[in-house]
Chain A
Amino acid sequence: MNELTTQLEVRTPAPGVSVIEISGEVTRESDGALTDAYQRASDQAQTIILAFDTLDYMNSSGIGLLVTLLVRAQRSHQSILACGLTEHYRQIFELTRLDEVISIYDTEDAALTAVA
């Protein structure tokens, strides 16, 4: 699988808060795109919300990328939140124990309310 099928859109819905909308696939090949999106999202944001509503596929390399992204955010004293996870991906967050370090919300609105 060499074709890049990760689509990442960065938005700023509130001051100090950025949202990275993650669509398509998150795999080993997503590293550069995810790093780039994180850098764009980091600009003056203390909180970054990862929106997984349109995530189609994620393998273990993709979860590894989320861990490294989390570490970068912690180093920069930023919070990472997640929203829009299906039951399947909630289970993966539980399995990998990412749910212990990333707060999960049903919707983006719920995440925004939590950080307001």
Chain B
Amino acid sequence: MSTQPGNRDAGAWAQPVHRLTVSEGHINVSGRRPTAPMHGFGRMWQKTYRTSLAGTDVSPSEAITVWKQHFPEFWPAGNRFFAPLAGIAPGEVAALDLSMPGGLKLSTGVLVLYADDESFTLMTPEGHMFAGWITFSAFVEDGATCAQAQVLMRASDPLYELGMTFGGHRQEDAHWSHTLTALALHLGASGEVSAETVCVDRKRQWSRAGNVWHNAGMRSALHMAGAPGRMLKNAFRRHEV
């Protein structure tokens, strides 16, 4: 093994974690393994959304500080990001409630895989719509600070792949475009967003079709369907006490 000295990025990475844990009241996160793009089922995509902060004097590190602090506020209405108490820091886990078509709420989460002054990366757990990570970064290009969200992902299972093909990708594009526009407007820029989508691998990984077992969409729907029963059960329990 190499004996090179300590690495500058050491404090920016999460510690290895086998299974995620999150506070009670959130489903589809605790006990789930974090997933990389290799673990998904669908085609692999790299999607890059970018906005220029030209006209402002915001540095990349200032943009990332604001983005971390106000991360949930920039999301489209109907979606919730339950920020960890320690904020967006390496190893922290956040729960998410995402608004889906048909009034369904999809409950899942993310692990903060990496966070430094100029970028941070969220990694998805088993059951999320996609296996992969999203890197949020800011950098100077052509003399202006740019903010960027880059998603490297495969849809986690065949159901999600179908969903992504029929509207899911469009919904995701809208989500991150909205987020970047909100960030840019917050920082005093115009908020125009460019998007680039690259298919990294057209092959679907049929060996990963079994990921459907963890599908957070189905489990969220079952959880919602079981809500009246749980309410009744709790009411009886209270009555007995």
A residues near B, CB below 8 A? 1-2, 28, 52-61, 64, 67-68, 70-71, 74-75, 84-92, 94-98, 100-101, 106-107
Contacts and interface: CB of A to CB of B under 8 A. Distances in A.
A67 B44 CA distance: 10
Interface of B: 1-4, 6-10, 12-17, 34-39, 44, 46, 113-114, 116, 118-119, 121, 123, 133, 135, 137, 139-141, 150, 152, 200-201, 203
A2 B60 CA distance: 12
Nearest to B198: A68
Contacts of A71: 44, 200-201
B139 A28 contact: yes
Contacts of B6: 88
Given A59-B12, A64-B133, A87 B1 contact: yes
B38 to A, nearest CB: 5
Given A57-B9, A68-B200, A100-B38, A95 B16 contact: yes
A52 B152 CA distance: 23
Contacts of B36: 67, 96-98
A46 to B, nearest CB: 19
B38 A101 contact: yes
Contacts, number: 95
A2 B140 contact: yes
Contacts of B3: 86
Contact of A88 (B7, B46, B113, B141): B7
Contacts of A101: 38
A97 B150 contact: no
Given A56-B7, A95-B113, 7 more contacts: A56-B8, A59-B116, A60-B121, A64-B46, A75-B203, A88-B7, A98-B36
B152 A64 contact: yes
30 contacts: A28-B139, A53-B2, A54-B4, A56-B4, A56-B7, A57-B8, A59-B12, A60-B113, A60-B121, A61-B137, A64-B133, A67-B152, A68-B152, A70-B38, A84-B1, A85-B1, A86-B3, A86-B7, A87-B1, A91-B16, A95-B13, A95-B14, A95-B17, A95-B34, A95-B113, A96-B36, A97-B35, A97-B39, A98-B38, A100-B38
